[in-house]
Copies of this chain bind each other. A is one copy, B any other.
Amino acid sequence: MHGLMQNHPLLVSSLIEHAGNAHPHAEVVSRTLEGRMHRCTYADIERRSKRVANALTALGVSPGARVGTLAWNGYRHLELFFGVSGMGAVLHTVNPRLFPEQLAYIINHAEDRYLFLDACFVPLVEKLAPQLTTVKAFVVMAGRPVEAASTTLDLCYYEELIAAHSDDYRWPQLDENAASSLCYTSGTTGNPKGVLYSHRSTVLHTMLLCMADAFALTAVDSVLLASPMFHVNAWGIPYAATMVGARLLLPGAALDGASLYQLMRDEQATAAAGVPTVWLMLQQYVHTQSLRPLEELALRRIIVGGAAVPRAVVETFERLFGAHVLHAWGMTETSPVATVCRPLRKHLEYSAAERIDLQRKQGRVPYGVALRIADESGAVLAHDGVASGRLLVRGHWVASAYYGDEAGAILDADGWFDTGDIATIDPDGYMQITDRAKDVIKSGGEWISSIDLENAAVDHPAVAEAAAIGLPHPVWQERPLLVVVRKTGHDVTKDELLAHLSERVAKWWLPNEIVFVAELPHTATGKLQKMVLREMFKQHRFDA
């Protein structure tokens, strides 16, 4: 027997439709590429995204067709989030920081029909264009500025395109399981893989983000979005801000400390989201300029994801900014939020130091996500905070296959997705990533967490960055090599660092060797490339 309730599909368009009706005056504030501030409202975003939908329809974009973007965080990008998905096409947000061959691979693999790009990416696209096999036209997200004119490409201009179309449009009532957007993982190995989100998974994930035990966005918030809209749709926050009518602050390409601080201060941001690197730069700027954020800003919380948060970052935000650091974890395959580090009742009695220890964990699952850890044979391990194993995830907003595959292709027999991470889960459900499965160091049948070793090293005041890799050892199978970048102007010796580490990790975890280098290899998205590091040190051997 069915219930007798109304049944509306969970559609991306319903988010902007709601904002247009319920929060027409709430603002979207963008820093343009030219550095000007642009202000508009959700009502404007809805009207213009309807023009986008009409324009795409006129261009012959059919439901399910992919439309790519190469763009920073700005209001036109937001309009494409709703205009493209809302009319039934698939929004493919491409990361412009990738290497050109990866960009060409991704755009061709997705078969993007149109590519919308910020004017600053015209030179990049000029170079890419000869390799792109499916793109019918390039639309520059601007008026028709002289600077962006291309010698080789016939470009369209966003404002001209949408000005030619009406904002009279009814969002189609699509199947909620239809694809809404596509993001490629920027893996450290192999070709990028596409994750194809559905309208339903997007809306459910958006509801999660607005929960008080997740990002807790509300209509009184002003949210600074320092996570790029091409990184898993900026973690879904553009959708979440729209769902609750929060003021949205879009910083464009200016993610340096000075620009972010100015935007936070001028627009009185209450929340901000970004990777640790962005916040380190901001804190450094505040420090060098001797600013007083507690007095000048209205910041209440900083949402951090993408990597573990250094302890000093948490402490500085608490002390100097009066802002709570909210740590979340996920990946492209999990939309991305799979855990949020929110406290339980028992933690209310924690000391400040204990609370900060907790805040640095990846957190616990919200409703809609389940986690388990398993050993290499697939046996499920205890949630005791000690046993570490491959982290498996399932839930409403977790991928079942990569783009081009059959649904379910990447799930095990019980429907779990293997994250490729190694983690522990404590009895309270707090998950902590200890390593990537491929980076774990296997010493005498036991695992050494490369991440724990690196974190312990970075705790030293003279260490800027550290990477631990396993190298072959005649007795122990593998032993750790630690590769360290010193902070400029600081010094530390091998012996000093070993003494520092020996207070923080088990004796048998101590690296057999420490090498100091000028810099470590990274991917375009800032991930450490351990594969390159292993290649660099492949001749290295430990003696028995």
B-binding residues in A (CB < 8 A): 1-8, 10, 14-15, 18, 21-23, 25-26, 63-64, 90, 175, 177-180, 195-201, 204, 207-208, 210-213, 216-222, 243-245, 247, 335, 342-345, 347-348, 364-368, 370, 394-403, 405, 407, 411, 415, 417, 428-429
Contacts and interface: CB of A to CB of B under 8 A. Distances in A.
Contact of A4 (B6, B15, B195, B243): B195
A4 B403 contact: yes
Contacts of A220: 343-345, 347-348
B22 A365 contact: yes
B207 A213 contact: no
Given A212-B210, A212-B212, A244-B367, A400 B196 contact: no
B2 A178 contact: yes
The 5 closest A-B pairs by CB, nearest first: A3-B198, A1-B64, A212-B216, A5-B201, A212-B212
Given A6-B201, A6-B397, 18 more contacts: A1-B178, A2-B175, A2-B178, A2-B179, A3-B178, A3-B179, A4-B179, A4-B401, A5-B196, A5-B397, A6-B398, A6-B399, A6-B417, A211-B244, A218-B342, A219-B344, A243-B367, A244-B366
Contacts of A213: 210, 217-219, 244
Given A211-B244, A220-B345, A342-B218, A399 B5 contact: yes
A217 B208 contact: no
17 contacts: A1-B179, A2-B177, A3-B179, A3-B180, A4-B198, A5-B196, A5-B397, A6-B394, A18-B370, A22-B367, A25-B428, A207-B211, A210-B213, A212-B244, A220-B344, A220-B345, A222-B345
Nearest to A3: B198
A347 B218 CA distance: 13
Interface-centre pick from A4, A175, A204 (highest chain B CB count, 10 A): A4
A241 to B, nearest CB: 12
A128 B403 CA distance: 61
Contacts of A399: 4-6
A473 B405 CA distance: 75
A6 B401 CA distance: 9
Contacts of A179: 1-4
Contacts of A3: 177-180, 196-201
Contacts of A25: 428
A334 to B, nearest CB: 10
Contacts of A198: 2-5
Contacts of A245: 344
A8 B395 contact: yes
B196 A4 contact: yes
A410 to B, nearest CB: 9
A81 to B, nearest CB: 15
A8 B4 CA distance: 21
B343 A219 contact: yes
A6 B415 contact: yes
A365 to B, nearest CB: 6
Contacts of A218: 212-213, 342
B197 A364 contact: no
A411 B6 contact: yes
Nearest to A396: B8
A145 B6 CA distance: 44
A400 B398 CA distance: 31
A244 B343 CA distance: 11
B400 A22 contact: no
Interface-centre pick from A5, A180, A210, A370 (highest chain B CB count, 10 A): A5
Nearest to A2: B177
Contacts of A367: 14-15, 18, 22, 207, 210, 243-244
Contacts of A216: 212, 216
Contacts of A395: 6, 8
A213 B242 CA distance: 13
